[in-house]
Structure 1
Amino acid sequence: MIGFPSLDEISAQQYLGQTFGQDEASLALFCIFIFDFYKEQKREFPWRDTSDPYRILLSEVMLQQTQTSRVLPKYERFLSLWPTFETFSTCSLDELLAEWKGLGYNRRALNLRKSAKMTEQWNWTIPDDEDLILSLPGVGKSTSSAILCFCYNEKAIYLETNIRRVLLTCFFPEETQVSDKVLEELLKRLALMVEDMKAWYYALMDYGVLLKELLPNANTRSAHYTKQSKFKNSNRQIRGLLIHVLSDTGPKSLDSLYSLLDNFEEERVFACLKQLESEGFVQENEARYGISKD
């Protein structure tokens, strides 16, 4: 069931309905509960068996808003082509976007390549320094914490969607508008009880995936919850189509692009094209638009 080694609908019920107080004894019981679950039901992924900052950053960026089933073959493909920051930094944007296809949010790929180039100053790695990690393009608090925890076993506060779901379910079952600040304070207290931060956060994430499958979405009770906007007929869809067309078939005139994307208004296609150009994805040369060669 859902990627877990020995779980079915019936046996899964033993893990549901568990709530905990926030006194020290209850927090300790929660840690035991989560690690017991993980011992029996942990999922296996290649990015969990490494502390290499390149592989951790690659997996974290790919996994943002993307299912593990889609990420796994892409992750392995990227490592076969570009096994290090140094090799990845040399890939062309054309190559990168062609391989990134299917993961969505192309800006993540562009930021990843920029980050790889930046690591040259650190001898092609990422140091154990939060400020330096946060200087990488597209890297926020969550990804920075992942690098600190999974590469260096730091007690950083890693709050992502599955972990948020666990905390809301187990500690705030009736509350609404729960802020991330409250959840982060709870994670700080829990971290003091844990030695292996990598296993701890992977255990929380796996339990969160189970809760997602079997219970209503607790994340709707977060103060920061927003529904993802529809992809169909969005500017995000237009941007993706433009990237795919130019990556797959080469430079095109503006009229050709209008013809190929004739389901959308020309004004919207042009605005998205110019946005891609300003972000460094696309460049214009002799009235034809193509993927940037920079």
Structure 2
Amino acid sequence: MIDFPTLSMEEAANYLSLPFSQSQEGYEAFLQTILGFYEGHGRQFIWRETSDPYRILLSEVMLQQTQTSRVIPKYELFLSLWPTLKDLAGVALDELLYHWKGLGYNRRALNLRRSAIASREWDWNLPTKQTELLSLPGVGKATAAAIGAFSYRERTIYLETNIRRVLLHCFYPDQEGVKDKELELLLGRLVQLVEDPKAWYYALMDFGVLLKHLLPNANMRSAHYTKQAKFENSNRQIRGQLIHLLSDTGAKEQQQVTTLLSHFEEERVLYCLGQLEKEGFVEETEGTYRIAKA
């Protein structure tokens, strides 16, 4: 069984009894199923062993749309290089992007650094209030809720991909177009019934991973589901190659950039270069482009 080596297919089938009713009895049965699975087969990750808000933020940002196997070595590397928010705030952007390579979605790295810089307002710590966490660059509802639950054991409403899959599968097996607002209301009821929100959300995520391996993707029945666009020959791919080029090999003149990325149309390369400049990744001086210093 992928990710759950101690769990046989026969045992896994025992966890798939459906559906659960939205009643006190149904909620209690659901909790028993999820927590029972987690007690016997929960996964172990280094970021689950800490309550440090910075380490939780780092793991949450890295794990967005990225497999845990790719995150583990990068997470350990980042903490060895920049063990505190203050350390991360002081790193040059080109160095950060160089070490981020392999995780993709480089905007996450940019926002992570900006959040570290902003943490100076709280004496190089993260704020505890959800409203203040949401003011940090790139920190949305899910990330803020994760910090609240995993760092402070608050009963936040933490809805992410795997948790959404569990709720849709277990409580809305035949419904299409289910809105997150409805799922958040359900999560709010459930989290009030658990003693430890941190363990509860880890259990839900692990159960979601189990469902991902066994069944069709229930997230397709979410009202907010969108199929990810292909990466090959996309602007995402061009942007990533531009960032890697400039962070790995230094400043380049425009003609050098377009020549080195000649496998893409020049117009698209220049468009992506302009977008990266607007977003703060890249700066241009007299026709020479480099990773931004600020």
The TM-score by the shorter chain falls in which range? over 0.9
How do 1:217-236 and structure 2 match up within 5 A?
Answer: 217-236=217-236
Residue 169 of structure 1, CA deviation: 0.6
The one-character-per-residue Cα deviations of 1:100-158 (angstroms, maximum 9, x if unpaired) are: 00111111100000100111111111122011100000111111100111111111100
The one-character-per-residue Cα deviations of 1:5-49 (angstroms, maximum 9, x if unpaired) are: 411333322222332101111101111111000000000001101
Counterpart AA for 1:203? A
How do 1:43-122 and structure 2 match up within 5 A?
Answer: 43-122=43-122
Q: How many residues end up aligned between the 2 structures?
A: 294
Note the residue ranges of structure 1 that are not aligned, 5 or more in a row. Answer: none
Counterpart AA for 1:269? V
1:180·1:223 contact (CA, 8 Å) conserved in 2? Answer: yes
Partner of 2:180: 180
Counterpart AA for 2:35? F
1:5·1:42 contact (CA, 8 Å) conserved in 2? Answer: no
The one-character-per-residue Cα deviations of 1:275-294 (angstroms, maximum 9, x if unpaired) are: 11111111112321111122
Partner Cα separation in structure 1 for residue 142 and residue 69 of structure 2: 21
Residue 2 of structure 1, CA deviation: 2.0
Partner of 1:21: 21
Provide the secondary structure at the position in 1 that maps to 2:44: coil
Provide the secondary structure at the position in 1 that maps to 2:290: strand
Partner Cα separation in structure 2 for residue 191 and residue 15 of structure 1: 20
Counterpart AA for 1:177? G
After superposition, the CA RMSD in angstroms is 1.0
User: What TM-score does the superposition give when structure 1 sets the normalisation length?
Assistant: 0.98
Partner Cα separation in structure 1 for residue 140 and residue 242 of structure 2: 27
Counterpart AA for 2:77? R
1:211 to 2:187 alignment: no
Partner Cα separation in structure 2 for residue 18 and residue 58 of structure 1: 35
1:179·1:222 contact (CA, 8 Å) conserved in 2? Answer: yes
Partner Cα separation in structure 1 for residue 99 and residue 164 of structure 2: 31
1:253·1:287 contact (CA, 8 Å) conserved in 2? Answer: yes
Note the residue ranges of structure 2 that are not aligned, 5 or more in a row. Answer: none
Partner Cα separation in structure 2 for residue 2 and residue 201 of structure 1: 20
1:279 to 2:279 alignment: yes
Counterpart AA for 2:64? Q
Counterpart AA for 2:225? Y
The one-character-per-residue Cα deviations of 1:255-279 (angstroms, maximum 9, x if unpaired) are: 1111111121111100100111111
Partner Cα separation in structure 2 for residue 130 and residue 112 of structure 1: 17
Partner of 1:270: 270
How do 1:149-160 and structure 2 match up within 5 A?
Answer: 149-160=149-160
Provide the secondary structure at the position in 2 that maps to 1:15: coil
More off after superposition, 13-22 vs 158-167: 13-22
Provide the secondary structure at the position in 1 that maps to 2:182: helix
Partner of 2:9: 9
The one-character-per-residue Cα deviations of 1:183-226 (angstroms, maximum 9, x if unpaired) are: 11111110110110000000000000000011000000111110
User: What TM-score does the superposition give when structure 2 sets the normalisation length?
Assistant: 0.98
Displacement over 4 Å in runs of 4+: none
Partner Cα separation in structure 1 for residue 122 and residue 248 of structure 2: 34
Provide the secondary structure at the position in 2 that maps to 1:111: helix
1:5·1:43 contact (CA, 8 Å) conserved in 2? Answer: no
